[in-house]
């Protein structure tokens, strides 16, 4: 198709088409908007309304399966563990994503994850644990009441946003499955599904699939560590890691692994995807730390979304992403420039 034809199809004035890259970016935006717009706009649960989350009518909601909806609607705000920073507009949270299984561009997940199947979903619990098994997500969630928590999310790429998650403490899940005394670490694994995830088919990828992440047991048991199943009062969108993801707010975003199918307890430190890929750049701990720069850029500040060229909205990065009071004790006596 010629440039002119595409331009006409999208109805963009020619004055705005200044270069191939601007045109490409625009086309991506349009495609993202289109794929989102075709989703039905369901009435969102009363919780979203009560919490005052603003979801413009032309943006999709992700209500999730019927069994999950009721749970989401009965979530309760945890004010004590929520920050008062301004929320990222919903649009930014669902269209600016890192989910490399669906592509490496920030707009790829919203474009390519919309048909991702997240129900039914199984989670395997394995390793050093008294009750291993393959469980339906519904059974995993059954005993847990959901909380609404507003957390900062700080990506290692030096941007950040503030998101209201719906989830429950990982500690509660861990206690239920009764890890043995040998369980010193927890490893999480994302689904491996080449049919649904285009980047897992690519032979040029940087990551050795499936994506894996891990925490030390005391980090996993910290009250801030959340298993999320929703955000902005609704189920998680697929691009944000539906149906089950980890959220560890004091660590760089890559620790917060998406679309989890396995939780494994081990005696030794597990492998983690970005550490395998570039061990000099990404450590196991990955605590947000303005004093330890990434080898290729500073970590002293961050671009808080929404951010644009004219108004970049740069803010100081805080040690442990502002959660030092709750987590600094976990690393007492450790040299954090060595254990980055």
Which own/partner contact pairs does 50-56 have at CB distance under 8 Å and 24+ positions apart? Answer: 51/77, 51/148, 51/164, 51/233, 53/87, 53/90, 53/164, 53/232, 53/233, 54/89, 54/90, 55/90, 55/232, 55/233, 55/234, 56/90, 56/91
**∠ CA 215-152-116, rounded to 5°:** 70
Q: CB of 159: closest distance to ligand MTE in angstroms?
A: 8
Which DSSP string do the residues of 188-221 spell out, in sequence order?
Answer: EEE---TTT-HHHH-TT-SS-SSPEEEEEHHHHH
Binding partner of 190, given Mo ion, ligand MTE, none, CB within 5-8 angstroms per partner class = ligand MTE
Given candidates 95, 118, 187, 190, which one binds ligand MTE under the rule CB under 6 A?
Answer: 190
Check residue 258 for interaction with ligand MTE (CB under 6 A).
Answer: yes
Check residue 103 for interaction with ligand MTE (CB under 6 A).
Answer: no
Q: Is 195 annotated as a binding residue?
A: no
**E strands present in 19-140:** 76-77, 122-127, 133-136
Q: Is 213 annotated as a binding residue?
A: no
CA distances in angstroms from 311 to 21, 96, 122, listed in the order given: 21, 17, 43
Check residue 155 for interaction with Mo ion (CB under 5 A).
Answer: yes
Check residue 148 for interaction with ligand MTE (CB under 6 A).
Answer: no
Q: CB of 195: closest distance to ligand MTE in angstroms?
A: 16
CA distances in angstroms from 110 to 11, 73, 118, 131, listed in the order given: 22, 24, 15, 36
Given candidates 256, 275, 307, 321, which one binds ligand MTE under the rule CB under 6 A?
Answer: 256
Q: Can you tell me the distance from the alpha carbon of 193 to that of 201, in angstroms, rounded to the nearest whole number?
A: 9
Q: How far is CA 11 from the centre of its chain?
A: 34
Q: Is 131 annotated as a binding residue?
A: no
Check residue 169 for interaction with Mo ion (CB under 5 A).
Answer: no
Q: CB of 35: closest distance to ligand MTE in angstroms?
A: 16
**∠ CA 164-168-173, rounded to 5°:** 155
In DSSP terms, 127 is beta-bridged to 265
Buried b (16+ CB within 10 A) or exposed e, 300-335: eebbbbebeeeeeeeeebbbbbbbeeebeebbeeee
Q: Is 12 annotated as a binding residue?
A: no
Q: Which two tokens stand for residue 140?
A: 């995993």
Q: Is 240 annotated as a binding residue?
A: yes
Q: Is 256 annotated as a binding residue?
A: yes
Contact letters for ligand MTE, residues 278-317 (x by CB under 6 A): ----------------------------------------
Given candidates 44, 47, 99, 112, which one binds ligand MTE under the rule CB under 6 A?
Answer: 99
Q: Can you tell me the distance from the alpha carbon of 310 to that of 21, in angstroms, rounded to the nearest whole number?
A: 19
Check residue 253 for interaction with Mo ion (CB under 5 A).
Answer: yes
Please report, as residue ranges, which positions from 97 to 126 form the binding site for Mo ion (by CB under 5 A).
Answer: 98
Question: Would you say 104 or 184 has its CB closer to ligand MTE?
Answer: 104
Given candidates 48, 150, 153, 229, which one binds ligand MTE under the rule CB under 6 A?
Answer: 153
φ/ψ of 264, rounded to 5, equals -120, 130
* Total residues at interface with Mo ion (CB under 5 A): 4
- When CB distances to ligand MTE are compared, the closest residue is 253
Given candidates 254, 284, 323, 340, which one binds Mo ion under the rule CB under 5 A?
Answer: 254
Please tell me whether residue 10 adopts helix, strand or coil conformation: helix
Q: CB of 129: closest distance to Mo ion in angstroms?
A: 29
Check residue 155 for interaction with ligand MTE (CB under 6 A).
Answer: yes
Q: Which two tokens stand for residue 225?
A: 């560590």
Judged by the rule CB under 5 A, the positions of this chain that interact with Mo ion are 98, 155, 253-254
Give the residue numbers of the binding site. Answer: 97, 100-101, 155, 190, 240, 245, 256-258
Binding-site residues from annotation for Mo-molybdopterin: 97, 100-101, 155, 190, 240, 245, 256-258
Binding site for ligand MTE (CB under 6 A): 97-101, 153, 155, 190, 211, 240-241, 253-254, 256-259
């Amino acid at each position: 198709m010629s440039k002119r034809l595409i331009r006409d199809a999208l109805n963009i004035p020619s004055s705005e088409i200044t270069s191939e890259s601007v045109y490409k970016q625009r086309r991506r935006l349009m495609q993202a908007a289109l794929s989102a717009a075709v989703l039905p706009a369901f009435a969102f649960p009363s919780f979203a309304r009560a919490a005052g989350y603003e979801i413009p009518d032309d943006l999709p909601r992700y209500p999730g399966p019927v069994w999950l909806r009721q749970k989401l609607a009965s979530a309760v705000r945890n004010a004590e563990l929520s920050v008062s920073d301004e929320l990222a507009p919903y649009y930014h949270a669902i269209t600016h994503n890192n989910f490399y299984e669906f592509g490496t561009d920030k707009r790829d997940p919203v474009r390519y994850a919309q048909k991702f199947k997240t129900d039914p979903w199984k989670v395997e619990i394995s390793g050093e644990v008294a009750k291993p098994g393959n469980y339906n997500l519904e059974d995993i969630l059954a005993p847990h009441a959901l909380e609404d928590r507003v957390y900062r999310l700080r990506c290692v790429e030096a941007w950040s946003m503030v998101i209201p998650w719906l989830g429950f403490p990982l500690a509660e899940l861990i206690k239920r499955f009764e890890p043995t005394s040998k369980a010193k670490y927890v490893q999480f694994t994302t689904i491996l599904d080449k049919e649904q995830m285009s980047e897992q088919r690519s032979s040029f990828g940087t990551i050795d699939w499936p994506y894996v992440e891990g925490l030390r047991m005391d980090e996993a048991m910290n009250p801030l560590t959340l298993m999320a199943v929703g955000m902005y009062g609704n189920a998680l969108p697929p691009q944000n890691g539906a149906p089950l993801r980890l959220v560890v707010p004091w660590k760089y975003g890559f620790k917060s692994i998406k679309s989890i199918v396995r939780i494994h307890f081990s005696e030794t430190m597990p492998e983690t995807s970005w550490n395998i890929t570039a061990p000099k750049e990404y450590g196991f701990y990955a605590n947000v730390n303005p004093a330890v720069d990434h080898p290729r850029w500073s970590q002293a500040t961050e671009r808080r979304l929404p951010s644009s060229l004219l108004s970049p909205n740069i803010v100081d990065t805080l040690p442990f992403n502002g959660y030092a009071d709750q987590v600094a004790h976990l690393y007492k006596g450790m040299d954090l420039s060595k254990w980055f």
